[in-house]
A and B are shown apart, each in its own frame.
Chain A
Amino acid sequence: MKRRTFLKLCGSTAVSFYLLPENIKTFAQEKDSEYDKKLVVIELQGGNDGLNTLIPFSDNSYYKLRPNIAVSADSLIKLNEDFALHPDLEDLKGIWDQGNMAITLGVGYPDPDLSHFRSTDIWQGASTEEIIYTGWLGRYLDLINEGRTNFQYPPAIEIQSSSSLILKGKNISGMAISDPEMLFKIQEMLTDIPDLNENGTLMENEEILFVKGLQSEIDRYLNSIKTAWEKGDSGYNYPEYGLSMDLSAIARLIKGGLGTSIYVARLSGFDTHVNQLSTHPILLKELASSIKAFFEDISNMTDQNEVVIMTTSEFGRRVKDNGSGTDHGTASVHFVIGQPVKGGFYGEHPSLTDLDPSGNMKFKIDFRQMFASILTGHLGISNGQASEILLGGFDSISMFS
């Protein structure tokens, strides 16, 4: 049986599309300047405890309310006279000292929802609508690529995961990749299959078209991914963590010159209801050492100043501990890291004693302000466009130089 060829993709409809004069221009403009900007989102799944990530050690209430899980004052990595990083975030200290790390304080949103799933949707969708259909980065991609369909590279990539809401746009969505080498190998195993016939009923079957769409994405993007993957190999040694492996794949694709601008990676296990002292530090260590390795890996890249990492998480955790862990909370602390970032603290830390009725902190920065800053300050779109994407106007924070 004959192995399938990529020429096959240029089936009749595809070829005629490329031959339309208005499309030749877009095709030539494959590398628009804005696409050189890269954003890597690291989702901390389960609700990261901001209070044990950045410790407000000068506030006595912290130690009073967390008798069982407070991080002891003598081990802290102090950043100023009020705040310190958790000792297992040591690997971020160098980046902080170079002035490339913004720490946003008290990030949350009004009427917080304490459900993991609802709050994840709210963050990924940047929306509090009852039903959320698209993600904020999906809407960003929709907007900057209006009308464009002839991508030769994936507009966005998610590593090791199912395509989630965050990259879902109306017209464009992200591609999920777990192991590029396997992708190349398997793709060579595939053989031709019967085309869908326009007279049949299968053309109207939504599920069939969905599956077909996925395969044609792979077919379309494969060459660009392969080229970048081969070119971007630096042999840099990452630590042996899952997140490190994912970030190393992202670094390799970026260094290889892939046009993709948006990347999403994930670290899960932050739902620390119990035994927080034994589980949370391990996750922080994985986060910090992976981020450090990522930036070292891309440090010899000429346009490394175009790469920014941002952390997100569906919520923070309760101020008062529950014996050995913490229940679901609200506001939390986040990091925005990279060459173009102006390091320092942004916002104001919420009070640990003036709490909402559930015993949770009152947020100071809306997470959509953080997104607005990324959209305008880093990805370079206008305030008006950012409002369109975020479904409302949110003041951005000037954290980019």
Chain B
Amino acid sequence: MKSQFRDLTPYKPSHEFPWDRNRVGHLLRRTRIGDPSPQEIDRFLNLGPDRAVDVLFEFPQLPEPFEWVNEPPGAPENPEIDQERREELIDFMIDLALKDVSIRERLVYFWSNHFVVQVSKVKDPRWMFRINNLFRKNATGNIRELTKAVGKEPAMLKYLDGIKNTKRQINENYARELQELFTIGRGNYTQNDVVEAARAFTGWKINNKTGKSYFVPWLFDAGEKTFYGYTGNFNGDDIVDIIFQRPETATFLAKKIYRHFVSYKEDEEVISQLATLLVNNDFELAPVLKTLFKSAHFMDDIFIGADIKSPQQLLIGLLRQFSGKPPNSKLTRRLLSITGQPILEPPNVSGWKEHEAWLDTSTLIYRKALSINFIERHKKFGLDINGFTYYYAKRASTTKELFKNIITDLLPTRLSNEDLENILNFFDIDRDPYINNATSTKIKGKVLGLLETLVQMEAFQLT
């Protein structure tokens, strides 16, 4: 099914497409990591659609880097130091994903699933931090310049073997993936372009002590290269510039953005408009994303809840909705692993496939187990069910109304009245209808029962 909105004209609230809690939830779910809290839904509802998007682009200050980023590595003498640093990095990432109100952490994830590195090969946590923070610094900046910077990151030089790519011994790994996965896409370059680009990227090394990369002129292949029909003594930056002149690159990136933020069912017409927008903005991302999120196309009902939550979205969402604190990094890592998203360790250089690939018969039951556990053992996980219950109880007079509001906020799908009635009918709520008469433990018990069921429903897996 295609959206009736065929271009990126702005969304205006209407009777048919009201700016309501469900649509606010859609905006927040698609632009951040995990479901929003009820308080956040209130806040963004009051901002109105236009201002809501602008607020998402107001970034907090960049976090201070860890002191150890410029210090010597732990390995080989003290590998346990690196282990501690990795744990710190994981805590840091989860903490920011939970707390940052803006779109920035979502983009950190987006870029790290685009310019992929795996910690199992990179190993050094200093390099993992550096590239992670580069994505944060350049979250909505210029994609072409980000691409240039990524190629010089120690993590990438290590991961795709740039440090082994020298004038004497060409290593094709980075040059191929740069074109196939990071910029222009398969079918738009030849094997010869891979070899020529590899020559242009020669000469980079990493200083293990400082954790920084540097250029070594005598390892660089200064000869003439022929790339996409151009000939010259190109270096890596030149290669990136040439690739970004190709219209296929804008289309490739637009498709990636569209699939991630709008729908994995590609709409070629809208993607091509997004590509034009990228070119017209010289690959500056912020204005393009703002236009996208403010469009009626993005806000269309058919995209609401039309994707599958990632494990991280599931976990962070549960914590945020119930004002919980992240578990320690070991448990976090384990929970994300068994549900199919081991942190810092995507399956390969093309990253997680996302969308329906998040779910199979194995990950689905682990996700359900995780969610049920969080609700049942909410005290252990520090989830504030009392606060959550109080929030909704204050805004409803009958149990039915209370349930209705919670269901509407927790299930990302846009529910018709029939759907809502059907779900409500499942619960025994007609006995004891008025909340005012009920004790708070009684209400909390009912809400717990409701939550335990909701997190097992199909719709809860969506975003």
Contacts and interface: CB of A to CB of B under 8 A. Distances in A.
Interface of A: 1, 45-46, 113-118, 160, 162-163, 175-178, 182-183, 186-187, 189-197, 199-202, 205-208, 210-212, 214-215, 217-218, 268, 273-274, 322-325, 327-328, 357-358
Contacts of A187: 365
Contacts of A201: 414-416, 418-419
Interface string B416-433: 101101110110000000
Contacts of B360: 162-163, 175-176, 214
Contacts of B365: 182-183, 186-187, 190, 218
B90 interface: no
Interface in B227-281: none
A190, A201, A211, A217 — most chain B CB neighbours (10 Å)? A211
Interface of B: 160-161, 164, 166, 168-173, 176, 180, 186, 191, 194, 305-308, 338, 340, 347-350, 353, 356-366, 368-369, 372, 413-416, 418-419, 421-423, 425-426, 449, 452-453, 456-459, 461-462
Contacts of A215: 364, 458
A80 to B, nearest CB: 34
Complex A-B, nearest 5 residue pairs according to Cβ-Cβ distance, in ascending order: A197-B422, A323-B169, A200-B419, A176-B360, A194-B426
A273 B452 contact: no
Contacts of A1: 449, 452-453
Contacts of A327: 171-173
B461 A211 contact: yes
Given A176-B360, A214-B364, A324-B164, A194 B423 contact: yes
Nearest to B373: A189
A322 B171 CA distance: 6
Contact of B419 (A162, A197, A274, A322): A197
A77 to B, nearest CB: 30
Contacts of A162: 340, 353, 357-358, 360, 363
A274 B308 CA distance: 36
A273 B421 CA distance: 58
17 contacts: A1-B453, A114-B176, A115-B176, A115-B180, A117-B180, A162-B353, A194-B457, A196-B422, A197-B421, A199-B418, A200-B418, A201-B419, A207-B305, A211-B461, A215-B364, A322-B170, A325-B161
Contacts of B419: 197, 200-202
A193 B425 CA distance: 11
A46 B118 CA distance: 14
A140 to B, nearest CB: 20
Given A194-B423, A273-B173, 15 more contacts: A116-B350, A162-B360, A163-B361, A177-B361, A190-B368, A196-B458, A199-B418, A201-B415, A205-B306, A208-B459, A215-B458, A217-B361, A273-B160, A323-B169, A323-B171
A176 B360 CA distance: 6
B350 A328 contact: no
Nearest to A357: B191
B244 to A, nearest CB: 21
Contact of B307 (A193, A207, A274): A207
Nearest to B350: A117
Nearest to A203: B419
Contact of A191 (B362, B363, B423, B453): B453
Question: Which residue, B362, B363, B366, B423, has most C-beta atoms of chain A within 10 A?
Answer: B362
Nearest to A221: B361
B348 A116 contact: yes
